[in-house]
Amino acid sequence: MLSSTIILIILSLFLGTGVWLVFLWAVKKGEFDDVEGAKYRMLEDDPEPISAKEAKTDEQHEPKS
């Protein structure tokens, strides 16, 4: 019983360290820089939809790989 408790404690320490490292990586990457922006972005107007004719001309000019 004691050995399973020790294993669970070590496993939780590794898991906690992993989550902490992922959080630090996300902070350095800038994931939490603009926490207020999303609620204001939904109030902005949508861009004008392009017509089918414009979509065809755009497809013709794109290089195919």
pTM greater than the 0.75 cutoff: no
- The total domain count for the chain is 1
Q: How many CB atoms lie within 10 A of CB 63?
A: 4
pLDDT in tens, the chain (65 residues): 789 999 999 999 999 999 999 999 999 999 888 888 888 888 888 777 777 666 666 556 555 55
Confirm whether 52 is domain-assigned: no
Confirm whether 31 is domain-assigned: yes
Confirm whether 54 is domain-assigned: no
CA atoms of 27 and 53, how far apart (whole Å): 44
Confirm whether 36 is domain-assigned: yes
Per-residue confidence (pLDDT) for residue 54, from 0 to 100: 65
Per-residue confidence (pLDDT) for residue 4, from 0 to 100: 94
Confirm whether 62 is domain-assigned: no
Confirm whether 13 is domain-assigned: yes
Confirm whether 57 is domain-assigned: no
CA atoms of 4 and 39, how far apart (whole Å): 47
What is the residue range of 28's domain? 1-43
Per-residue confidence (pLDDT) for residue 58, from 0 to 100: 54
